[in-house]
Amino acid sequence: MIPVSPLADSFGRVMCDLRVSVTDRCNFRCLYCLPETEEAANFYRTKFDAVKNPNPLQPAALQWKPKSQLLTFEEIERVVRVAVARGINKIRITGGEPLLRQGVEQLIARIAQIPGVEDLAMTTNGFHFSQKAEALRAAGLRRVSFSLDSLDEKNFKRMTGRDGLSEVLAGIRKARELGMNPVKVNAVVIRGINDNEIEALADFARTEQLSLRFIEFMPLDSGHTWLADLVVPGREILQRLQARHALVQSKPSHAAETARRWKFADGAGEIGIIAPVTEPFCGFCNRLRLTADGKIRTCLFSLGEHDLKPLLRGSADDAQLEERLRGIVWQKEERHHIGEPGFVQPERSMSCIGG
C-alpha cells in the first residue's frame, strides 16, 4: 500500500531506495576507491604532468571510524523501519565490504522481516562470500551484486591490490547454486587499466548467464586522482559490444533505473551500462544512503551529510526521526556537477559513503 505521505524532495522525486553501509572498512584497495598500493601510484603518476604534480597519489593514511561511532544493528533497523513506513521498499546492504561486519547475517534477518521491504540485496567484493553465503540466504538475502573488474589474475591484483580472483569467482558460483536471482556483476572500466577486457567480461556474462553492469569511472577515490581522460564513456562500451554481439535492448523496469540494459539475442545473460559521468540520470534519482556512522547522504557526490546519530542515541521518538528524514530528503540536490567548472569531489571515498 502506498503511504499517505512518502519521502519526497523539492523536485517531486519520491524516495524508494535506501543503501545501507554497515562498515567503512574494506579488504581490497581498488584503484577507483582506495588506490593505496604502489602499483596504483605508478599508474596515476604516468597520467599526471610530472612537473606540476610530481607525487599525484599521496592519500592520507586510512582512518577507520571507531566501532563506537558505527551504528548498531538495532539503530540501523530502526532507521530502515521508519524509512520503509514512508515508502522506501528497496534496501541494499553495502560497505566498505559488508562481509567484514561481524554478524551481518543477523542484520539481514532483521531487515527481511520488516513489512514493506520488497527487495533486499547486497553489494560485495565477493572475497568472503562463499563462507557466508548459506547463512545470508537463510537470513533472507535474495539478491547479490559482485564487484569484478578483471578476469585476468595479474590485472585483478593491479586493480584491487589483492590476489582474490578465484575467491570472487567461487562466490559468484555459490550465489547461483543457492538460487539467488539475479546474480549481478559490476565492472568499473578505467581507460588504460581494464578497458581491454570489455569484450571478455561480456563473454563471461553470456557464458555464465549473469547480469553484468559496466560502470563509468567516477570521482570517488580516496586519493582524489580521478581524471576525466580515464573515463570510458558508456556509448563507447556499447559500440564495442554491439560490434561483437547481437544485443536486444530491454525496457526499463522503472524510470529511476540506473542501467540501460541489453540482452544477448540468444537470451543468455544480460549487459547493462551505468554512465553517471557522460549520461547522468539524476532527474529520476530516488536513492538515499545511510553511512556506517549514521549520516544520510542524498547524493553520491553530496558535499554535506546529515547526522542521525544524535536522534538515534538521544531521546527522539520515531515521529521525530521521520520528521528529520523528511527534512533531509526535501533538501536533496537536483543533480551532481561532474564535468562542470567548480566541481568538487566529495571528501569521503566510496568505501566510506557506501555504494
Nearest to 137 by CA among 108, 94, 117, 102: 108
Angle formed at CA 325 by CA 336 and CA 124, multiple of 5 degrees: 60
Q: How far is CA 304 from CA 295, 307, 333, in A?
A: 10, 10, 11
Against a cut of 0.75, is the pTM above it? Answer: yes
Domain 17-353: give its CATH code: 3.20.20.70
C-alpha cell at position 335:
543533480
pLDDT at 46 (0 to 100): 66
User: Given this model, what pLDDT does residue 275 score?
Assistant: 94
For residues 99 and 25, the answer to whether their CB atoms sit within 8 Å is no
Contact 287, 20 (CB under 8 A): no
- Which residues are bridge partners to 190 per DSSP? 231
Q: Map grid coordinates 562498515 to a residue.
A: 23
Q: Mark residue 192 as left, alpha or beta (left: phi above 0; alpha: psi -120 to 50; beta: remaining).
A: left
**Residue 98 φ then ψ, to 5°:** -60, -25
- Would you state the pLDDT for residue 305? 94
Q: Residue 262 in contact with residue 203, Cβ under 8 Å?
A: no
**What is 39-75 written as a DSSP string?**
HHHHHHHTTS-TTT-SS---PPPP-PPPGGGSPPHHH
83: amino acid identity, one letter:
A
Distances (CA, A) of 23 to 52, 67, 163, 292, 351: 36, 9, 22, 5, 8
| Distance, CA of 155 to CA of 192 (rounded, Å) | 11
What are the extents of the domains in the chain? Answer: 17-353
pLDDT, tens digit only, all 355 positions of the chain: 444 589 999 999 999 999 999 999 999 999 888 876 666 666 656 665 544 444 455 444 456 788 899 999 999 999 999 999 999 999 999 999 999 999 999 999 999 999 999 999 999 999 999 999 999 999 999 999 999 999 999 999 999 999 999 999 999 999 999 999 899 999 999 999 999 999 999 999 999 999 999 999 998 887 777 889 999 999 999 999 999 999 999 998 888 789 999 999 987 899 999 999 999 889 999 999 999 999 999 998 888 999 999 999 999 999 999 999 999 999 999 998 888 788 888 887 777 787 6
**Is residue 198 within a helix (H) or strand (E), and if so which, with residue range?**
helix 198-208
Q: Are strands 90-94 and 270-274 parallel, antiparallel or unpaired?
A: unpaired
Q: Is 206 helix (H, G, I), strand (E, B) or coil?
A: helix
**Nearest-10 Cα torsion for 153, 156, 161, 165:** -70
List CB contacts of 14: < 8 A, sequence separation 6 or more. 6, 7, 8, 87, 286
**Cβ–Cβ < 8 Å for 312, 57:** no
Q: Which residue has the cell 553484468?
A: 212
Q: How many helices (H) and strands (E) does the chain have?
A: 11, 12
Please report the pLDDT score of residue 211 as a whole number: 96
